[in-house]
Structure 1
Amino acid sequence: MADPSSYRPRPGEIPDSPGVYKFRDEHGRVIYVGKAKSLRQRLANYFQDLTGLHPRTRTMVTTAASVEWTVVSTEVEALQLEYSWIKEFDPRFNVKYRDDKSYPSLAVTMNEEFPRVQVMRGPKKKGVRYFGPYAHAWAIRETVDLMLRVFPVRTCSAGVFKRSAQIGRPCLLGYIGKCSAPCVGRVDAEEHRRLAEEFCDFMAGRTGAHLRRLEREMQRAAEEMEYERAARLRDDIEALKRAMEKNAVVLTDATDADLVAVAEDELEAAVQIFHVRGGRVRGQRGWVTDKVEEVTTAGLVEHALQQLYGEESGDAVPREVLVPALPDPVEPLTAWLAGRRGAAVDLRVPRRGDKRALMETVRRNAQQALALHKTRRASDLTTRSRALEEIAEALGLDSAPLRIECFDISHLQGEDVVASMVVFEDGLARKSEYRRFQIKGFAGQDDVRSMHEVVSRRFRRYLQERQRTGEWATGEDGENGESHGSGGPGAAPGGAVGASAADAADGPDGPAPAEEGGRSRAPKFAYPPQLVVVDGGQPQVAAARRALDELGIDDVAVCGLAKRLEEVWLPGEDDPVVLPRTSEGLYMLQRVRDEAHRFAIRYQRGKRSRALKASPLDAVHGLGESRKQALVKHFGSVRRLRAATVEQICEVPGVGRKTAEAVAAALAQAAPAAPAVNTATGEILEDREDQ
């Protein structure tokens, strides 16, 4: 436990201006990000007597080892920079909302040549219009089915679309009039995009114009005695009205607003959001969070709005945002929302009338969501804490292992040897920090040697990154790591450049992430675990311990879990530690071990399946992957390459005549794959080699 006075800035160093500050732990990991109207006054609150601090704040400042800040011009810039840093560093002591369940949305892929309407879950993608989220996927499909009569936008997958284009026949929806069939050229790309835009306008709440247009066309068709067309338009109008009726009218003045309500206790909070467009509830979603920092209701609202609108812009931000409490001051948040929308936003607390009544409904939903969440999670929180305590007691650790890393080796009869590393923090999997390794030094069924190599590579990277990022602890601009000067939200935080997971994911000792400005963001390998678990018994544990000793690392505990009897082995011990079968600690170790095994098996099978995809070009001696790809790309397929002459093959860059002759000979000897044939007509349905 660190003493905050050891890294407290000297008097007068902290500027009395708006800014954003970061607390880092001893390994340089950002554990908390905050903003302040006055950095001097805000940071002074953290360095008072520990007994006067909130328990969570006290835990944060004693976990931290340094503090730094960036000065900005306005509070709006501070709000923007705080959001970007929280998103980038994922600090453990900041409020982080997570969906209380998986909410589907209606998505229109406007980033494609022929936009597609579909149900989507998960993170939002650039260039895709989203509507919702909805409580149930079937509700989206019912609405879409009604609207396709009027807006026959494509709903098929890329494979079905490509297949229909190849055979020149649309799918069933194209035949029954619920798709404009752009795959076969019934409409061009421009006309299909216009249909998609009209579909989006209707879903966004601009329904009146479309209904009035259809009614005028129906009346005109009736006057011209085109009664069949008038009947079809009448049915289209009824379909749109039924689609509208699925969303109840909650505000009579056709308001566009988002309503945010919060239910909280001392430990957790639940947020519910209702999206109202055109006076109707068009979507609903909910979040829950652990209150790992001291935060008020207004603070929870501010964090929720940052997460809700941080990735959005334009009409995704409504004209009104109704909340249960306003941050103080409210002007920076209102200005930030207006910047996201491109127009003024009315952020307020409803006091009376229909909006107040609807806010009560949203609040009741939040209370129910929190109660349901606590029912589901209360036992899990208690169980995880008890499991970590049991592990610490059984292994003789000073404290509970909050970060556990587990390693497993996988191979197929000594070939394609790979390894996995999975990470559990606070008893939960951190999949973004999983890593995969190829064992390239040797082949064979020597799991002990493989384990030694993998642990050595992982912790060698840790030592390299700790050395590279050592300036976080001492700082470059001052003794305590303060970052002086001003910087707006558009600037890189502290000049740092983040390393993606791919920088260290697949390999073993690849190049370290690039640096700019002399500093880099601490990569994931820079954070050591408190406990290393290996899949195996005494030999594997000894190999892992030896790897750590060779690197001079003595503050990381090691244990192994043997599959046969689920015994826990410790380094240098002749007898295993036997945990009771009902032990929560043993169950957690089993989960960690099984996850590492699953991740390793998946990687090994993927490598094996890729190796089994043989090509006739593999028989050509000296022809590498680059030239194989160049040949197939130049001719479009192996079938066309087989039909090419030696002279034509020589036209491919990097292919000489001798190689071209060898390619032609190898393809001539290889039997072509049999095409699929329609047994009734004899028509060739597809060329297997072209797929």
Structure 2
Amino acid sequence: MMEPYSAQFSIDQEGISRLIPEEPGVYLFSDEKGRVLYVGKAKSLKKRLLSYLRPHGSPSPKTTLMLSRAKGLDTIITSSEKEAFLLESNLIKKHLPRYNVVLRDDKRYPCLVLDIKNPFPRLRVTRKMKKDGRIYFGPFSSAMAVRETLRAVDRIFLLRKCKGDAVKRRLRPCINYQIGRCLGPCSHEIGSEIYKEVVEKVRLFLEGKNNELLKRLQSEMAGASEDLDFEKAARLRDQINAVRKTAEKQNVTSPRMLDLDIVGLASEGALFQLVILFVRKGALTGSRNYRWRSQGGSEEEVMESFLKQYYEGSPFIPPEILVSIKLEEAGSIASWFSDLAEKRINIRQPKRGEGKRLVSIAVANARSLLRSVPEETEQDIISDLQELLRLSARPGIIEAVDISSLSGREAVGAIVAFSEGKPLVSRYRSYKIRETEGPDDYGMMAEVIRRRIKEGDLPDLIIVDGGRGHLETVSRVVKDLIQESPPALAAIAKPDPSRGEEIEKIYVPGRRNPITPGRDSTALKLLIRIRDEVHRRAISFHRQVRGKKFKGSELDLIEGLGPKRRNILLSAFRDASSVLEAGEEELASIAGIGIETARRICLYRRAKSDASPE
């Protein structure tokens, strides 16, 4: 593949005609400060860029406004249009240009995975689909949907539930075996062929092939009855009833048992609402919705931008995508998706029949959500925040920083990011404090800011969770490290009830007294939301760090129990608590432990019990 290269040009018709080739690639318009305003893709860079300067008809208000602010132009030539699609998507995610429609959704949707190469696989949830020989089911529209499916499989089929890819031998089976929900390969000799039959039934169930599964179960039930194995027949009867009951809940949308996505779009003025419906094996499995404000944008632009950004990094692209808007580049985008998915992908706007009905449902949902839009949008709130803090530039990207520690120990820092008032998870960061010792909040805050600045790609505004002292600390670091165009700074402090304060105080550099907005200020509510989110992340990361440090420490407290014997015990039992609950004879029977070590463990348990309060 040819390496893409970039060049910089002035925005004039003569220069573009003379210097820019008729090759596929990506172009970037930037303002006087070098900030990227718009990223676009073209089959022919020359033709596309000249169309901005020699438009057929009147250009859109959005294009006119963007060109009035654009002072620089960069182009990157690629070896193919498909490579240009990918580069465009990556540059939009990197720069978040103001005049692009940016999909701010960094979630990896959950899937279920079965490792059929494992003789005793378990069904588990994952958010990463890989080409590794495992079988993936999904993605599901929400964590709740995947948990409900997993619970149904656990209830109906006898797959093992214990963690880990390898089956660890146990002296006694777990509770799932005792209540008849697991074959117990950890404590019983189960043939891999018997277990494989269960895996195949789970696969049929998750692929929606319920009729085939029911025929197989009914055949097995009849065979068990003929063999007078009535206990097995009753168990199979219960499985059949459970599968039928689950199948009845599924909302069959397509009788052809297809996998497809249906994308419907509605708009009102500058506001666009999009709904995507997921159909898997003919059943509607869930939906998601997205909303944008794009002044002067078109429905075709929004739909095209959504498809390219949503599916570019998606682990699963269905064979067919139905859209409510006719797209000029549908064929080119489908060809790119086909390469990504390594199968044929079709994008179309259906004109009749079942496809048109499904798209109408998606559009109706989008229109309903559009009518429920609150009067004040995120765009208005950001403007309110700019006015409240008296900022010279609009704070489109905001980051917040907070510290968490236990009297200075296991100290951590966290940063969260918001774009246009919404969380931008891809820019979230967590830091372990390395340089600052002891309970020094100011020093820790300075360390986190220094490390964040070194990473580059800074936000428009940094919010500090703290008071005037925290803000002054951060201001000094920013002044020392950034000479040109530093981010704006502000701090938010909780009210002090002892002073009769009821509303959060906002500190900004160069102002002695804090800003005290009204209780109903939407800008204040946004700041509180951002402050609470960074506080939550800092505390969660601190608990995670503490948990890792102290994990397994109770067995370390037992005199004479070294790492080797501790690992033997943890292999035989589920965890340290199970080890301490076991009897002396059971512990002594484990190879490598012996009666003396077993007595030490039991003595520790008794001593711990005697020391505990009633």
Asked if Structure 1 and Structure 2 have the same fold, meaning a TM-score greater than 0.5 normalized by the shorter chain, the answer is yes
Q: What residue in structure 1 maps to residue 75 of structure 2?
A: 69
Q: CA deviation at 1:357?
A: 2.9
Q: Describe how 1:120-159 pairs up with structure 2 within 5 A.
A: 127=134, 129-131=136-138, 133=140, 137=144, 141=148, 145=152, 149=156, 151-154=157-160, 156-158=161-163
Q: What residue in structure 1 maps to residue 198 of structure 2?
A: 195
Q: What residue in structure 1 maps to residue 121 of structure 2?
A: 115
Q: Is the Cα–Cα contact under 8 Å of residues 214 and 237 in structure 1 kept in the other structure?
A: yes
Q: Is the Cα–Cα contact under 8 Å of residues 392 and 401 in structure 1 kept in the other structure?
A: no
What is the CA–CA distance in structure 2 between the aligned matches of 1:574 and 1:104, rounded to whole Å? 47
Higher relative contact order structure (alpha carbons within 8 Å, sequence separation ≥ 6): 1
What is the CA–CA distance in structure 1 between the aligned matches of 2:346 and 2:480, rounded to whole Å? 62
Q: Go from structure 1 to structure 2 and tell me whether the alpha carbon gap of 1:550 and 1:165 turns closer, same or farther (over 3 Å shift).
A: same
Instruction: Determine if the alignment matches structure 1 residue 676 to structure 2 residue 606.
Output: no
Q: Go from structure 1 to structure 2 and tell me whether the alpha carbon gap of 1:370 and 1:177 turns closer, same or farther (over 3 Å shift).
A: farther
Q: What residue in structure 1 maps to residue 610 of structure 2?
A: none
* 2:101 aligned to which of 95, 100, 103: 95
Q: What residue in structure 1 maps to residue 248 of structure 2?
A: 245
Q: What residue in structure 2 maps to residue 11 of structure 1?
A: 17
Instruction: Determine if the alignment matches structure 1 residue 269 to structure 2 residue 263.
Output: no
Instruction: Determine if the alignment matches structure 1 residue 536 to structure 2 residue 467.
Output: yes
- Code of the residue aligned with 2:246 in structure 1: it is A
Q: Describe how 1:38-77 pairs up with structure 2 within 5 A.
A: 38-47=44-53, 53-58=59-64, 60-61=66-67, 66-77=72-83
Q: Describe how 1:237-636 pairs up with structure 2 within 5 A.
A: 237-265=240-268, 266-277=270-281, 280-292=282-294, 296-306=298-308, 309-311=311-313, 317-340=317-340, 342-372=342-372, 374-375=373-374, 378-379=375-376, 381=378, 384-393=381-390, 397-408=391-402, 412-413=406-407, 419-436=413-430, 443=437, 447=441, 455=449, 458-459=452-453, 461=454, 504=455, 525-530=456-461, 533=464, 535-537=466-468, 539-551=469-481, 553=483, 555-556=485-486, 557-563=488-494, 564=496, 566-571=504-509, 573-602=511-540, 632=563, 635=564
Q: CA deviation at 1:283?
A: 1.6
- Code of the residue aligned with 2:275 in structure 1: it is V
Structure 2: runs of 5+ lacking an equivalent = 1-7, 570-575, 591-597, 603-614
Q: CA deviation at 1:288?
A: 0.8
Q: CA deviation at 1:11?
A: 3.1
Q: Go from structure 1 to structure 2 and tell me whether the alpha carbon gap of 1:444 and 1:326 turns closer, same or farther (over 3 Å shift).
A: same
Q: Go from structure 1 to structure 2 and tell me whether the alpha carbon gap of 1:456 and 1:233 turns closer, same or farther (over 3 Å shift).
A: closer
Q: What residue in structure 2 maps to residue 653 of structure 1?
A: none
Q: CA deviation at 1:290?
A: 0.9
What is the CA–CA distance in structure 2 between the aligned matches of 1:148 and 1:7, rounded to whole Å? 65
Q: Alignment partner of 1:16: what SS? A: coil
Q: CA deviation at 1:268?
A: 1.9
Q: CA deviation at 1:285?
A: 1.6
> What's the C-alpha RMSD, in Å, of the aligned pairs?
4.9
Structure 1: runs of 5+ lacking an equivalent = 462-503, 505-524, 620-630, 641-671
What is the CA–CA distance in structure 1 between the aligned matches of 2:102 and 2:224, rounded to whole Å? 56
User: Could you tell me the TM-score, scaled by structure 1's length?
Assistant: 0.65
Q: Alignment partner of 1:328: what SS? A: coil
Q: Alignment partner of 1:182: what SS? A: coil
Q: CA deviation at 1:383?
A: 6.0
Q: CA deviation at 1:76?
A: 4.0
Q: Alignment partner of 1:287: what SS? A: strand
Q: Is the Cα–Cα contact under 8 Å of residues 28 and 38 in structure 2 kept in the other structure?
A: yes
What is the CA–CA distance in structure 2 between the aligned matches of 1:604 and 1:252, rounded to whole Å? 51
Q: CA deviation at 1:56?
A: 3.6
Q: Go from structure 1 to structure 2 and tell me whether the alpha carbon gap of 1:118 and 1:71 turns closer, same or farther (over 3 Å shift).
A: same
Deviation readout 1:376-427 (Å, 9 max, x if unpaired): xx5452662353133233xxx3233334444445555566665554444434
Deviation readout 1:161-212 (Å, 9 max, x if unpaired): 97x843331433x345443333334535565456334422443244444444
What is the CA–CA distance in structure 2 between the aligned matches of 1:360 and 1:588, rounded to whole Å? 35
Q: Alignment partner of 2:27: what SS? A: strand
Q: What residue in structure 2 maps to residue 79 of structure 1?
A: 85
What is the CA–CA distance in structure 2 between the aligned matches of 1:542 and 1:307, rounded to whole Å? 40
Q: Go from structure 1 to structure 2 and tell me whether the alpha carbon gap of 1:58 and 1:285 turns closer, same or farther (over 3 Å shift).
A: same
Q: Go from structure 1 to structure 2 and tell me whether the alpha carbon gap of 1:115 and 1:97 turns closer, same or farther (over 3 Å shift).
A: farther
Deviation readout 1:509-563 (Å, 9 max, x if unpaired): xxxxxxxxxxxxxxxx2325345646222x4444444444444636444444454
- Code of the residue aligned with 1:261 in structure 2: it is G
What is the CA–CA distance in structure 2 between the aligned matches of 1:196 and 1:39, rounded to whole Å? 53
Q: Alignment partner of 2:46: what SS? A: helix
Q: CA deviation at 1:431?
A: 4.4
Q: Is the Cα–Cα contact under 8 Å of residues 261 and 323 in structure 1 kept in the other structure?
A: yes
Q: Is the Cα–Cα contact under 8 Å of residues 146 and 240 in structure 1 kept in the other structure?
A: no
What is the CA–CA distance in structure 1 between the aligned matches of 2:29 and 2:50, rounded to whole Å? 13
Q: Go from structure 1 to structure 2 and tell me whether the alpha carbon gap of 1:275 and 1:453 turns closer, same or farther (over 3 Å shift).
A: closer
What is the CA–CA distance in structure 2 between the aligned matches of 1:562 and 1:247, rounded to whole Å? 50
What is the CA–CA distance in structure 1 between the aligned matches of 2:200 and 2:578, rounded to whole Å? 44
- Code of the residue aligned with 1:392 in structure 2: it is L
- Code of the residue aligned with 1:145 in structure 2: it is A
Q: Go from structure 1 to structure 2 and tell me whether the alpha carbon gap of 1:247 and 1:74 turns closer, same or farther (over 3 Å shift).
A: same
Q: CA deviation at 1:270?
A: 1.4
Give me the identity figure in percent.
29
Q: Alignment partner of 1:166: what SS? A: coil
Q: CA deviation at 1:130?
A: 2.3
- Code of the residue aligned with 2:17 in structure 1: it is P
Q: What residue in structure 2 maps to residue 494 of structure 1?
A: none
What is the CA–CA distance in structure 2 between the aligned matches of 1:360 and 1:593, rounded to whole Å? 41
Q: Is the Cα–Cα contact under 8 Å of residues 96 and 289 in structure 1 kept in the other structure?
A: no
Q: Count residues with an aligned counterpart.
A: 561
- Code of the residue aligned with 1:243 in structure 2: it is T
- Code of the residue aligned with 1:167 in structure 2: it is L
Q: Is the Cα–Cα contact under 8 Å of residues 436 and 443 in structure 2 kept in the other structure?
A: no
Q: Alignment partner of 2:247: what SS? A: helix
Deviation readout 1:637-658 (Å, 9 max, x if unpaired): 4789xxxxxxxxxxxxxxxxxx
Q: CA deviation at 1:273?
A: 1.7
Q: Go from structure 1 to structure 2 and tell me whether the alpha carbon gap of 1:446 and 1:112 turns closer, same or farther (over 3 Å shift).
A: same
- Code of the residue aligned with 2:18 in structure 1: it is G
Q: What residue in structure 2 maps to residue 661 of structure 1?
A: none
Q: Is the Cα–Cα contact under 8 Å of residues 108 and 128 in structure 2 kept in the other structure?
A: no
Structure 1 range deviating more: 32-41 or 339-348? 339-348
Q: Is the Cα–Cα contact under 8 Å of residues 25 and 75 in structure 2 kept in the other structure?
A: yes
Q: CA deviation at 1:107?
A: 1.6
Q: Go from structure 1 to structure 2 and tell me whether the alpha carbon gap of 1:159 and 1:296 turns closer, same or farther (over 3 Å shift).
A: same
Q: Is the Cα–Cα contact under 8 Å of residues 16 and 50 in structure 2 kept in the other structure?
A: no
Q: Alignment partner of 1:260: what SS? A: strand
What is the CA–CA distance in structure 2 between the aligned matches of 1:312 and 1:605, rounded to whole Å? 31
